[in-house]
Structure 1
Amino acid sequence: MTTPLLKKAHPPPLHEDANTVVIAVVITLVFLTLLTVLVVIIIYLYRNKGSYLTYEQPAAETDVVMQMEDAPAKEKEEYFI
């Protein structure tokens, strides 16, 4: 008489091990693909931050703007077409 704990454990058949390995490899490949795509997107966004033109005056020209604002205002002229 043997107890259930002392009985030999039967290893699963080889095809079950193969299925488990295939599933693990597929999940790993999907994860690595997603990670690679994420890294490529981050690198692309980092390098292409975007440049745009502004029509604001640089900080050095603010004195000129202040002088122009202090100048006396001319009369506005209206033109009718």
Structure 2
Amino acid sequence: MKKMMNTPTLEEETNVAVIGAVIAVVLVTLLSVIVLIIIYMYKNKGTYRTYEHREADREGSVQMEDLSNKGEKEEYFI
């Protein structure tokens, strides 16, 4: 009893190549998107200023902003 080896046909080889190429393109695209998201998040950390009362100020008093440029003229828009 002889075992016959099944050699893939040209059509099967083409199908395997196409499937491999599609998987490779999807993986490269996914990795590119992940890298772009990481770069975007790294560059846009952002800082912001809040004007809320601190926890230590429980009296509820309103305080004016600290004006460090007292010597300069102030502009008022009406």
CA distance in 1: counterparts of 2:10 and 2:20, whole angstroms: 15
Which residue of 9, 19, 25 corresponds with 1:13?
A: 9
Deviation at 1:38, TM superposition (A): 0.6
Which letter does structure 2 place at the counterpart of 1:21?
A
Whichever of the two has the greater Rg, that structure is 1
CA distance in 1: counterparts of 2:50 and 2:42, whole angstroms: 21
Q: C-alpha root-mean-square deviation of aligned residues, in Å? A: 1.6
Write out per-residue CA displacement over residues 17-54 of structure 1, whole angstroms, 9 at most, x where no aligned residue.
11011001101110110111011001110111011124
Percent pairwise identity: 52
Q: Identify unmatched segments of 5+ residues in structure 2.
A: 53-78
Q: Identify unmatched segments of 5+ residues in structure 1.
A: 57-81
Decide which structure has greater helix share. Answer: 1
Which letter does structure 1 place at the counterpart of 2:32?
T
TM score, norm. by length of structure 2: 0.58
CA distance in 2: counterparts of 1:18 and 1:33, whole angstroms: 22
TM score, norm. by length of structure 1: 0.57
Q: Across the two proteins, how many residue pairs are aligned to each other?
A: 52
4+ residue runs over 2 A deviation: none
